[in-house]
A and B are shown apart, each in its own frame.
Chain A
Amino acid sequence: MTMTMDGATQARRWYRQRISAMVLALCVLVHLVTIIYAVRSGLTAEALLARTRGNIAFAAFYAVFVLACAVHVPVGLARIGEEWLGLRARAADAAANVFALVIVVMGATAVYAMVHG
């Protein structure tokens, strides 16, 4: 394993991961409650979409959720890539950033479909 990343970068990454984790903790909680409510109340897909279409609050909440994921996930993935797959720091970063981009694109698509679909 190589020492490539300077301490300040690591420290900033840790901070970003920590803050995004706090946001995610809240988002996941709200998300789970929403799912349980939707399933238990027996709403159909049509009925759900009728509620989410044009709903700016829904869009804003899930946009934040997606962004928090995109910030949080690559930090940990890069670590896993380095430690478990033996990738160099640069390669691990690149792979993690691609993954983050996939999260953003897929997440944004899902949010768009929920609000405008």
Chain B
Amino acid sequence: MPMLQVSIWRGREQGGYVDYEVPRHASQTVLDVVTHVQRHLEPSLAYRFACRVGMCGSCAMSVNGVARWTCRTHVADVAVGDRLQVAPLANLPVVKDLVTDMREFFDKWARAKGTFQSRRTRDDDFARVPPSSPARKLADAGIECIGCGVCYASCDVVAWRPDFLGPAALNRAWTLVNDERDIAQHERLRAVAGDAGCHACHTQGSCVERCPKHLAPAAAIAGLKRVTARAAMRGKL
């Protein structure tokens, strides 16, 4: 049976790669490989997954140096010869082995005012938002984010500027900026403007390149730059 040589990160911030030999199969995913190692070779290996079908976003890891969903990545597409390297996502603290601490990532969503705020109550009628309205279309373009952290791990600005809110949080903010029901627009624009916000982005586009959902956080950030500039020039920021 053909074998795959897999190097997997073991440890925390300090640690090293350990090599394992895993049998290759047709249509095998990287998550299958990691699962094989944990079930048969290294029971103490820590990793995170849930749905296995690209819906939950919890199995993102760095595969051969590139952040990916391991459940939707075929070994045949990424293995170099018979070798594969699997590491925890970059730009996040490592809890153990392949598991990262996502707290800072999601705290930044909160810092970017990524929470929907409405004036309506359950007693009010539904808001009617035409799906064809320009703002709704802009919101729709970014709304499918499932918070996997692939863009955040791929962003060089996050790497050199740890306080940068990052592509996912800013993308979330942009969907709410375009939500006509939301009432926290002023606070949100203030939260996303400046050195730690949209103005730190250099539009390198790794987030767009790597997003497994094919979203464009860089375009969302460009939108935030336009809207914050408009507000600032009117003295409303």
Chain B interface (Cβ < 8 Å from any Cβ of A) = 160-161, 163, 189-190, 192-197, 199, 225, 228-233, 237
In the complex, residue of chain A having the shortest beta-carbon distance to the beta carbon of B197: A7
Q: Which of A1-47 contact B (CB under 8 A)?
A: 1, 3-15, 18
Q: A1-B161, A14-B199, A83-B160 are in contact. Are A7 and B194 (CB under 8 A)?
A: yes
**Within the assembled complex, what's the spacing in Å between the Cα atoms of A28 and B193?**
31
Contacts of B196 in A (CB 8 A): 3
- Chain A residues with Cβ below 8 Å from B228 are 7, 10-11, 14
On whether the beta carbons of B194 and A6 are closer than 8 Å, the reply is: yes
Are B237 and A4 in contact, with the CB atoms below 8 A? no
Q: A4-B195, A5-B194 are in contact. Are A11 and B229 (CB under 8 A)?
A: yes
- What number of A residues sit within 8 Å (CB to CB) of B? 17
Closest 6 CB pairs of A and B: A7-B193, A7-B194, A11-B232, A15-B229, A11-B228, A10-B199
A11 to B237, CA, bound (A): 9
Tell me the smallest distance from the CB of A8 to a CB of chain B, in Å. 4
Subset of 22 A-B contacts with CB under 8 Å: A1-B161, A3-B195, A3-B196, A5-B194, A6-B193, A6-B194, A7-B190, A7-B194, A7-B197, A8-B237, A9-B194, A10-B193, A10-B197, A11-B231, A12-B229, A12-B232, A12-B233, A15-B229, A15-B230, A15-B232, A18-B229, A89-B195
Q: Provide the residues of chain A in CB contact with B160, threshold 8 Å.
A: 83
Chain A interface mostly helix, strand, loop or mixed?
A: helix
> In the complex, A90 Cα to B86 Cα: how many Å?
42
A10 near B233: Cβ-Cβ < 8 Å: no
Residues of chain B with a CB closer than 8 A to A14's CB? 199, 225, 228-229
Q: How far is the CA of A11 from the CA of B191 in the complex (A)?
A: 12
B194, chain A: closest CB distance, angstroms: 3
- Mark contacts of A60-74 with chain B using CB atoms, 8 A cut-off: 1 yes-contact digit, 0 otherwise: 000000000000000
Question: What is the CB-to-nearest-CB distance from B186 to chain A, in angstroms, rounded to a whole number?
Answer: 12
Per the bound structure, the CA–CA distance linking A13 and B189 in Å amounts to 16
Taking a contact as CB atoms under 8 Å apart, the answer to whether A8 and B161 are in contact is no
